[in-house]
Amino acid sequence: MNGDDPRYRDPRDPAAGRGADPRRSPYPAQTPGGRVPPTQYPPRRQVPPQQRPPQRGGAPVDPRRAAPPNPEGTQVIRRDGRSPAPERAWSRQPEASPLAQRSAAPRQAPPGASGYAPTQTPQPHTERARPRSAPPAPPRTTRPPAAPPAEPPRPRRRAHWGRRIGLIVLAVLVFTVGAVVYLDRSLNRVDALADYPDRIADTPGTNWLLVGSDSRTGLTAEQEQELATGGELDSQRTDTIMIVHIPKSGAATMVSIPRDSYVPIPGYGRDKINSSFALGGPQLLVQTVEEATGLRMDHYAEIGFGGFAGIVDAVGGVHLCVPYPIDDPLAGVNLQAGCQDLTGAESLGFVRSRATALADLDRMNNQRLFMSAMLAKATSVSTLVNPFRLWPMVTNAASSLQVDEGDHLWNLGGLAWAMRGDPVTTTVPVGGFEDVDGSGNVLLWDRENASRFFEALASDEPVPADLLTN
């Protein structure tokens, strides 16, 4: 193999480009494939101090970038057309110290060695395994570990009070409507306000005819004995006849008509007014009252002994101020004068008794007194808000009352509401008493004052004060 062949020259050998013998190159010859074994690379060439490039300010200067000396003083033009920068004074090398001169002196090579660094045999590199260190332990602390985050509170649902109140009101309304319909069907109805020839035309205001009969229907033997009714009679009679006039404005007027009033009875001549009820029932009684008073009746209500006492007991009794002591074995009552609570049986004896100085006149006064106290108790807040009193009261009233075919439960409610205040209570002006053949002792009306009295009601005006009788 020819060593001068440029194909086998090592391009890394600096001596190869200066005509040096490639056979003396420390670099190993390349293989035909152009590769050099990695274990045959020579060590790094040491440059003698004489051949080191000059330094500027202690820093090495690249000899390829240093400007060559120009002793002739000729201008040197660079290949790129620019002149080199003039040499500066600070670029000169300072004098070296003796220590530096000794360090810079060339070292003597051992005999038989070339000017290059001695040849070294490359050794394969073995990397020592580094000991794995354990991960650093976390710093100790006395602080307890943080508690896990608490579960966020569930959002509170908005209370739909409007919807709840609406449902409650709706439920109460449905229950009330259902109860009213049920109770209205429980009423006993009779055709009392039937038309007849030449009937009085309609008069302003609202007129009720209230009748308290002595009917014992539905009473047991024990109840008849407790209420002192005296057993069943051959014909039905009335113990109470009242007209309640409700004006368009103002207080209501409650008028008592004595049952022994001597008046004309259509088709039967003159007789006691309660005889019309025994002769022709409610229809004849209504016709007799309308023709005697000149008032057209709009509503009719009748109640018997048992229903009367049941309503009083349902509301818990009636607080009444008895004006004088009453002791009547026939009515089954013995009361002392003064304010007291009356039961159903005591209230019935109080409104039926005639064992007083004025007999029927006192009884009518007692009936009006009781009616006012009864309506006040029935329409009081303590009764309306207490279902244990309200429900028994309305159920007893619905089962014991007998009304006209055109009357309903709400009409009775309107009557009670109109009488809840301080109504005017009076009686028909009385002219005296007289014994009549076939009728016995009868009560005569004061015709002049009675005409003025009923004309005021027919005109929907208050009764004159001089005609009011307590």
Q: Is residue 192 part of a domain?
A: yes
Q: Dump pLDDT digits (tens) for 396-422.
A: 888 788 899 999 988 988 888 888 778
Q: Is residue 75 part of a domain?
A: no
Q: In CATH, what number is assigned to the domain containing residue 344?
A: 3.40.630.190
DSSP 231-252: S--SS--EEEEEEEEE-SSS--
Of the two residues 171 and 40, the one the predictor is more confident about is: 171
CA gap 387, 308 in Å, rounded = 20
Q: Is residue 51 part of a domain?
A: no
Number of domains the chain contains: 1
195's CB contacts (< 8 A; 6+ apart) are: none
Q: Of 67, 43, 70, 42, nearest to 54 (Cα)?
A: 67
Q: Is residue 406 part of a domain?
A: yes
Q: What is the mean pLDDT of the chain?
A: 76
> What is the rounded average pLDDT of the residues 377-404?
85
Residue 41 has pLDDT above 50, yes or no: yes
| Radius of gyration from C-alpha coordinates of the chain | 68
Q: Which domain, by its residues, includes 262?
A: 173-467
Q: Is residue 210 part of a domain?
A: yes
Q: Of 302, 267, 285, nearest to 194 (Cα)?
A: 285
Q: 263 - beta bridge partners? A: 271
Torsion of CA 400, 402, 406, 410, to 10 degrees: -30
351, 366 Cβ separation under 8 angstroms: yes
Q: Dump pLDDT digits (tens) for 62-107.
A: 555 555 555 555 555 555 555 555 555 444 455 555 555 555 555 5
- How confident is the model at residue 384, as a pLDDT? 83
Of the two residues 304 and 460, the one the predictor is more confident about is: 460
Share of the chain above pLDDT 90, in %: 20
Residue 210 has pLDDT above 80, yes or no: yes
- How confident is the model at residue 205, as a pLDDT? 92
CA gap 418, 250 in Å, rounded = 10
Q: Dump pLDDT digits (tens) for 143-172.
A: 666 777 777 777 776 667 777 888 888 888
CA gap 223, 51 in Å, rounded = 152
Residue 212 has pLDDT above 80, yes or no: yes
The torsion region of residue 227 among left (phi > 0), alpha (psi -120 to 50) and beta comes to: alpha
Q: 322 - beta bridge partners? A: 338
Q: Is residue 324 part of a domain?
A: yes
276, 265 Cβ separation under 8 angstroms: yes
Q: Is residue 83 part of a domain?
A: no
N-term to C-term CA, the chain: 166
Share of the chain above pLDDT 70, in %: 63
Residue 455: pLDDT band (50, 70, 90) is: very high
> What is the rounded average pLDDT of the residues 296-308?
85
- How confident is the model at residue 82, as a pLDDT? 56
Residue recorded with tokens 């000729």: 74
Q: Dump pLDDT digits (tens) for 303-357.
A: 876 677 788 888 888 888 888 888 888 888 888 989 999 888 888 888 888 888 7
